[in-house]
Chain A
Amino acid sequence: MATSQALPELAAVPWRKPTDARWLRRWGRIWHAWTLLYTVPFIAAAGGMVWLDPIAAPVALAALAHAWIIPELYAFRGASVVRPTTRGAAPGEPVAQGLLGDLLGHDERELQRETGLALERASLGVWLVGEGGALLVMPGGRRVHCFCVGVTDPELPPSDRVAHLLLALREDEEGFATVANHAFAGAPWRVRRRLPRPMRPALDAARRAAE
């Protein structure tokens, strides 16, 4: 049979470098440095203002608020990639759920039904695949990368979207990560608190699997 190791969708993004383990480590460090860069100056400014003149405390509080809000917004953006995009019951969802269940192991199937996220162990780390994106928990469980990626047909049932993404991921993991748009990298606890509550156990399970 004529087969191909590379994901065919890579042809649509020929300019992108392969998203491999080295790329992910480098981007993880860049995101970490970037987070420090936009929080430390606000904290230092807040401390400096109060030290110079305590009457500046309200302005210092505003600076501290900036140091808290900006990282939260980035983490929110990261967590949003796996937020459900379909509202209401899709007509083909029960059938699609059955097929997706066939692709998953027992524990992963239960987790997907409870959280909407399919856990997949792969070589780059542990993936959580949702209907409009995926989270990758790196080995060790201390950093998570968030990818925005979806299926081009907007009318597919939610479980079908997950199944399409899961199959693409299984065909070519690096290709999957390369086609996806990288949205965020940071500590799992930052993403977890911005995830919808029912999805949080999936991230906990992925962290345990990645440790």
Chain B
Amino acid sequence: MDRTGHTTLAEWTAEDDAAFAAAVQEFGEQQALGYIGTVPDGPGKATHIRQLPRDADMVILRRPIAGG
């Protein structure tokens, strides 16, 4: 999620190693920029991830939150 609303950074399938490798690299670069990986797990649940899961339907990169 970014200033444009949201941008698709990478797409992969569990069988496509090259696409997954590219996605892993993109994920790492976004983490270096401060983004946090999150997998929505259905209603009311989400999981913070530190490595890109091969089998996830969707991974959202969010910005850190802070007390205002």
Binding site for B on A (CB under 8 A): 1-9, 12-13, 81, 91-99, 103, 105, 120-122, 132-133, 147-153, 155-157, 159-160, 163-165, 167-168, 170-172, 176, 179-181
Known contacts A148-B68, A150-B68, A156-B63: does B5 contact A4 (CB below 8 Å)?
no
Min distance, Cβ B40 to any Cβ of chain A, angstroms: 7
Complex A-B: 29 CB contacts under 8 Å = A1-B51, A1-B53, A1-B56, A3-B50, A12-B64, A12-B66, A13-B67, A96-B5, A97-B5, A99-B5, A103-B40, A121-B44, A149-B66, A149-B68, A151-B62, A152-B34, A152-B64, A153-B63, A156-B2, A156-B3, A160-B5, A164-B63, A164-B65, A167-B38, A167-B46, A170-B46, A180-B65, A180-B67, A181-B67
Question: Chain A residues near B53 (CB, 8 Å)?
Answer: 1
Min distance, Cβ B19 to any Cβ of chain A, angstroms: 17
For residue B23, CB closer than 8 A to chain A, the reply is no
**Binary contact track B1-15/A, C-beta < 8 Å → 1, others 0:** 111111000000000
Judge whether B65 and A151 touch: CB under 8 Å: yes
Which secondary structure characterizes the binding site on chain B? loop
- B interface residues, how many (CB within 8 angstroms): 32
Q: Which of B36, B45, B66 contacts A170 (CB 8 A)?
A: B45
Min distance, Cβ B37 to any Cβ of chain A, angstroms: 9
Task: Give bound CA distance, A180 to B62, whole Å.
Answer: 17
Judge whether B45 and A164 touch: CB under 8 Å: no
For residue B49, CB closer than 8 A to chain A, the reply is yes
Judge whether B65 and A92 touch: CB under 8 Å: no
* Nearest 9 interchain pairs by C-beta: A95-B5, A92-B5, A181-B67, A1-B53, A170-B46, A148-B68, A96-B5, A2-B51, A2-B50
Min distance, Cβ A9 to any Cβ of chain B, angstroms: 5
Min distance, Cβ B62 to any Cβ of chain A, angstroms: 5
| Minimal Cβ-Cβ distance residue in A for B38 | A167
Known contacts A1-B53, A4-B50: does B67 contact A94 (CB below 8 Å)?
no
Question: Chain B residues near A81 (CB, 8 Å)?
Answer: 68
Question: Chain B residues near A7 (CB, 8 Å)?
Answer: 48, 65
Min distance, Cβ B20 to any Cβ of chain A, angstroms: 12
| Minimal Cβ-Cβ distance residue in A for B5 | A95
| Minimal Cβ-Cβ distance residue in A for B43 | A105
Question: Chain A residues near B3 (CB, 8 Å)?
Answer: 91-92, 153, 155-157, 160
Min distance, Cβ A52 to any Cβ of chain B, angstroms: 46
Judge whether A94 and B5 touch: CB under 8 Å: yes
Task: Give bound CA distance, A49 to B65, whole Å.
Answer: 50
